[in-house]
Amino acid sequence: MRANIPATQTVIEIKQPGGPDVLVPATRPVPEPKTGEVLIRITAAGVNRADCLQRMGRYPMPPGAPDIPGLECSGTIVKIGDGVAEWREGDQVCALLIGDGYGEYAAVPAVQCLPVPAGVSLVDAGGLPETFCTVWTNVFDRIHLKAGEIFLQQGGSSGIGMTAIQLAKAFGATVLTTAGSDEKCQACRDYGADLAINYRTQDFVEVAKAFTNGRGVDAIFDMVGGDYIPRELDLLAPEGRLCFVALMRGARVEADFGLIQRKHLTVTGSTLRPRPVAEKAAIIASLREKVWPLWAAGKLRTFTYRRFSLTEAAEAHRLMESSRHIGKILLVP
């Protein structure tokens, strides 16, 4: 046995595809870090919507991805694989994972780790990598949001939404957002949104057009899709950009593509989990250089809504699927 590292750990397995109760504790070996990897003793793991889809058997798993869910974690490095120079045993990090976050230990490429940001607790850090990598690679690398532009974030109270609101504000955009209740709208304003639209009681296109004197918005970051798509094409200003990371209300719609041509729009989207390690490493490096200093400058706040113990993973999924949460749900082994 390695010093202080047990041979086995408790993980949460998906017994079979289904509802939250298929998430059950199991015993698995603690992995050995391979070349280029570090072994993390997990302090907290973020719960993400993709975990719910994976549990239901509705997530296209990348080849070689582990069956244990969990796309991000924080914790302490307890073992270093060959060829890793940038981290030491004892370092406290948060990391982007391809899976295995719902456990006590995870082996991860060293290049997918970030230091715990200044002023952030080790627990809260477990909910940062997935949303920060997703928002950075899409809103800034893909649709190039710039200072002075008007940005609309759909689903502002989600983990993704609260990250995007803060980053868009920090980089000088005016931020509009939508959310499904007045309480969620207030939370979005608390985190920096200039205008929060309760989409259940207001038409986001009308409100956003009024806000921009009819011009429309420069960029939209969306996870809703479905009937939002034709309305978003209508709302975008000339040269506007629309980016999807999910299509919770559907991927097939009828829309006027003439708007894309006439207004010179860009429509794009991406996934994160199946990308090669080198691409994830580039996103992590960019975050470390351009975004992590914002924590020390006091421009970013964590947004943990609730913590559950690892063995309460089913409860955590029930909360996520209720959409009552505002911000991140964490599992703490």
Ligand X SMILES: NC(=O)c1ccc[n+]([C@@H]2O[C@H](COP(=O)([O-])OP(=O)(O)OC[C@H]3O[C@@H](n4cnc5c(N)ncnc54)[C@H](OP(=O)(O)O)[C@@H]3O)[C@@H](O)[C@H]2O)c1
Residues of this chain that bind ligand X (CB under 6 A): 48-50, 130, 134, 155, 157-160, 179-180, 184, 223-224, 245-246, 248-249, 270-272, 320, 323
Residue 73, beta-bridge partner list: 45, 95
Nearer to ligand X by C-beta: 270 or 286? 270
**Can you name the residues that pair with 174 across neighbouring β-strands?**
150
Nearer to ligand X, 31 or 274 (CB): 274
Q: How far is the CB of 241 from ligand X (least distance, A)?
A: 16
SS3 call for 178 = strand
Provide the 10 A C-beta neighbour count for residue 184. 24
Q: Least distance in Å: CB of 262 to ligand X?
A: 28
Least Å from the CB of residue 112 to ligand X: 14
> What's the CA gap between 249 and 159, in Å, rounded?
18
Q: Token pair for residue 152?
A: 């609309």
Query: How near is the Cβ of 153 to ligand X at its closest, in Å?
Result: 11
Which residue, 158 or 304, is less far from ligand X as judged by CB?
158
Q: In the complex with ligand X, which residue's Cβ is closer, 9 or 137?
A: 137
Q: How far is the CB of 268 from ligand X (least distance, A)?
A: 11
Q: Between 20 and 180, name the residue whose CB sits nearer to ligand X.
A: 180
- 152 beta partners: 176, 220
Using alpha carbons, select from 19, 28, 36 the residue that is nearest to residue 278: 36
Query: Residue 214 CB, nearest distance to ligand X (Å)?
Result: 26
State how far the Cα of 161 lies from the Cα of 199, in Å rounded to an integer.
14
CB 241 within 8 A of CB 268: yes
- Picking from 97, 170, 187, the residue whose alpha carbon sits closest to that of residue 135 is 170
Nearest CB to ligand X, comparing residues 33 and 327? 327
Distance CA 311, CA 236 (A): 45
